[in-house]
Structure 1
Amino acid sequence: MKINWNWIVVLALIISSCGQNSTTDELTVAEEISTVETGDFLIQVDDLEETRDFYTWTSDRIPVVSAHRGGPYPGFPENAIETFDNVIKFTPAIIELDVAMTKDGVLVLMHDDDLERTTTGKGKVEEVTYEYIQTLFLEDEKGAQTEFRVPTFKDALIWSKGKVLLTVDVKQSVPYEKLIAEIRETGSEAHAAVITYSFAAAKKMHSLAPELMLSITIRNEEEIQRFEETGIPWTRVIAFTGVAERPQEFNQALHEKGVFTILGVLGNLDRSAIARGDEIYAGFVQKGADILATDRPIEAAAAIKTLAPSSSSKNDYFTRK
C-alpha cells in the first residue's frame, strides 16, 4: 500500500497545541504523541538495486528523517530496538545506530565507550564480555531505567528487514571486516549503509565491500572534487553535508550527480526548531536537504509533511503495515 501522509496532520496539531519553547514542553509533546494510535510506517527494499534506486535523487523524491541514535524519547533509550519500533509508529524513517565491540568480540549497539550513561552497568564496552552486557538494562536520556536490553548488531540487522533502512556508525574498536561479515551473514546488504568520516575510510570500506552504500561527509565543492578522486562511484554514496545548512546551489550540485543529501539538524538546528518553531525543518528541505538527521524525528517528520509530492517514483518503497 502506498504511503498516506495525512496521518502527520494529527501530529502537527498535537505539536502546535503543545508549544515548542521549553524542555517541559518538549517532554509534553513526546508524551502526547505516544498516545496517538497509528500503524507502522515502513521503508521496504528487496535488494541492493532497489536500495540504490531509493537513494538516487529525483525531483519527485520524498524527504525523510533519519533518527539519530534510533530516535530516543522519554521511556525509549537510544540504540534500542524498542525505540526504533516507537519511531516507525509515527513516521517512515532511516535509523542511525552505533556499533561497538565487547571484549569477546560481540558487536552490540552502543554509542559511548563507557556503559554508565546509557545502561545500568559500569566500565568500557571493549573491556567487558557480552555475558556481562546481557545482564544490563538500558536507561533513557533522563537516566530512568527501562526494561530494555542492549541489542546486538545482528539483532538490529534482522529487525530492520522490511521496516527501515539503517545507517551504521562504526566505533573505532570495530574492525570493518567483522562489521561487513555480519551484514553479509544476515543478508542485510540492502538495508545497511555504513557511515565513514574520511575519504581514506570510505576507500577502505568500499574496497572491502564495494556493494554497500556509504554515508560520506561532503560539505563543499572542494570535498566533491576530493571524493571524485577516490574512484568510488556516486551510485554508492549518500552525502552527509554536515551540521550546518548548506547553500541551495551546493545541494543542487550533488543532486545533479544523483546523490541524496543528509543534513545533520541534530544539535544546534534541532534546538533552533524548539526555540523558533518546527517550520524551520521545512526550510531545510526546500533548500535541498533530502534527509534530516535529527534527535526529534517525530516532530521533524510532522514539519515536512507538506513537502512530500502527491505522486512519486519512490512511492512503492513506502508502505504502512
Structure 2
Amino acid sequence: MITWIKFTLALAYLGLNTGCLRNNNATNLAHVSNHNQVFRFSGVDDLHRFLTYSDSRVPLISAHRGGPDLDYPENAIETFQRIAYKTPAIIECDIALSKDSMLVLMHDETLDRTSTGKGKVNRKTLEELKSFQLKDTQGNITSYQIPTLDEALSWGVGKVIFTLDVKRNVPYRLVIDAVRKARAEAYVAIITYNVDQAAMVNNLAPDLMISASIRHADDLLRLNDADVPDTRILAFIGTKEADKQLTDLLHQHGILCILGTMGNLDRQAEARGDQLYAEFVDNGADILSTDRPLQAAQSLDYYIQKRQLSSPYIN
C-alpha cells in the first residue's frame, strides 16, 4: 500500500513538472490573458457586414501601432491586450520579415528605436529577434519580446480586429498565407497605399477587407476600375479633418471612413478637449486611427450612448 502511494505521488509530481516545462517552452506569452470575447463574428461575412456603413454604425478607434504608452511598447501583444480590455478596438500593427522569412511585428527597418537589438530586422533570425526586449514610448526597457504575426493572430481572435500594415519588401502573399493558416479572415484587414497594391491583395484574397487610401473621388473610381469592390474597402481619408463631400460619397457606397488623427488632430484634441473626437465622427469619420486610443474611446463611448447605438457583433 505504501509503495502504491509513493508511486502515485511520483506520477503526480512528474505530471506537474512536465506540465510546467511544457507551458514554459510552448510560448513566452503565457501571461497574456485569454479574456472574454469582444467581437462576435461567426465568419468573414459578419466582418463584411460590420464594416459596411449604415446610419446606425458604431464608430470605432484604431490603435495606431497597437496603442503604445508608458510601460507598453508599440507592436506588442501585451499592449494590444491593454487596449482590448478597455474598449472594442481595431489594432493597427506593422509586419516585417526576419532573415529566416518569419513574419514579426515591427515598424522600423532597424531594431534600435523600439528594442534592445541593433541593426536591421531582416538581418536577424527569429531566434535572434526573440532574444531582444521591447522598449516603451519613453525608451524604457520592458520584459516584452517581439511577437510573430502568428502569435498576434492566435491571441486576437474574438478580441480585436487587426489592420495589418505590410512593410516594404514583405510579400503580401506571405501575410495572406499567415492569415489563412490562422483562419483569421473574419478579424483582419490588409492596409494598402495605392490602387496597384489594393488590386493585388484583392486578386490574392478577394474575401479579405482592404484599407485603401482614398483622398479624392477619383481614387474610388480607380479602385472600381481595378475591380476592387466597394464591399471590401475601408477608406483611409487622410490626417486632416474630413471632407464632407468625400465622406458622403463613400457612405453612399457603403464604405467606412478611417480618419488618421495621429499627429496634428490628436494634439488638437489634447489641447482643446477630447470631445473633438466625437466632432470628427459627426463630420463623417467612422474609425479614428489615433495615438490616444483610450482618450478617443472614452469620447466615442459618450457619443455612442447618447445616440443609443449598438451592434449585434459587439458584446
Match of 2:3 in 1: none
Counterpart among 135, 142, 147 of residue 146 in structure 1: 142
Match of 2:227 in 1: 231
Is residue 2:306 matched to residue 1:285? Answer: no
SS in 2 for 1:42: coil
Please state how far the C-alpha of 1:173 moved relative to its aligned partner.
2.3
Within 5 Å, give how 1:6-85 maps onto structure 2.
Answer: 42-85=38-81
Please state how far the C-alpha of 1:248 moved relative to its aligned partner.
1.8
Within 5 Å, give how 1:85-164 maps onto structure 2.
Answer: 85-164=81-160
Matched-pair contact (CA < 8 Å) for 2:96–2:166: yes
Structure 1 residues 169-193: Cα deviation after superposition (integer angstroms, max 9, x where no partner): 0011211111111110111111110
Structure 1 residues 29-79: Cα deviation after superposition (integer angstroms, max 9, x where no partner): xxxxxxxxxx86822312110000000111001111000000011100000
One-letter amino acid of the structure 2 residue matched with residue 206 of structure 1: N
Is residue 2:199 matched to residue 1:209? Answer: no
Structure 1 residues 211-231: Cα deviation after superposition (integer angstroms, max 9, x where no partner): 110000001122122222111
Distance (whole Å) between structure 2 residues aligned to residue 137 and residue 42 of structure 1: 29
SS in 1 for 2:42: coil
Structure number with the bigger relative contact order (C-alpha 8 A, sep ≥ 6) is: 1
Q: Which runs of 5+ in 2 are unaligned?
A: 1-34
SS in 1 for 2:173: helix
Is residue 2:189 matched to residue 1:187? Answer: no
Is residue 2:240 matched to residue 1:241? Answer: no
Counterpart among 258, 262, 270 of residue 274 in structure 1: 270
Please state how far the C-alpha of 1:306 moved relative to its aligned partner.
2.6
Distance (whole Å) between structure 2 residues aligned to residue 162 and residue 101 of structure 1: 26
Please state how far the C-alpha of 1:196 moved relative to its aligned partner.
0.2
Structure 1 residues 249-294: Cα deviation after superposition (integer angstroms, max 9, x where no partner): 2211101101111000001111111122111111100011000000
Please state how far the C-alpha of 1:311 moved relative to its aligned partner.
4.7
Q: Which runs of 5+ in 1 are unaligned?
A: 1-38
RMSD between superposed Cα atoms in Å: 1.4
TM-score by length of 2: 0.86
Matched-pair contact (CA < 8 Å) for 1:41–1:92: no
Runs of 4+ more than 2 Å apart: 309-312
Distance (whole Å) between structure 2 residues aligned to residue 233 and residue 239 of structure 1: 12
Q: Percent identity?
A: 44
Distance (whole Å) between structure 2 residues aligned to residue 156 and residue 273 of structure 1: 30
Distance (whole Å) between structure 1 residues aligned to residue 147 and residue 100 of structure 2: 15
TM-score by length of 1: 0.85
One-letter amino acid of the structure 2 residue matched with residue 143 of structure 1: G
Distance (whole Å) between structure 2 residues aligned to residue 89 and residue 289 of structure 1: 24
SS in 1 for 2:186: coil
Matched-pair contact (CA < 8 Å) for 1:120–1:145: yes
SS in 1 for 2:62: strand
Q: How many residues align?
A: 280
SS in 2 for 1:219: coil
Matched-pair contact (CA < 8 Å) for 1:93–1:165: yes
Matched-pair contact (CA < 8 Å) for 1:126–1:173: no
Q: Higher helix proportion, which one? A: 2
Distance (whole Å) between structure 2 residues aligned to residue 229 and residue 142 of structure 1: 45
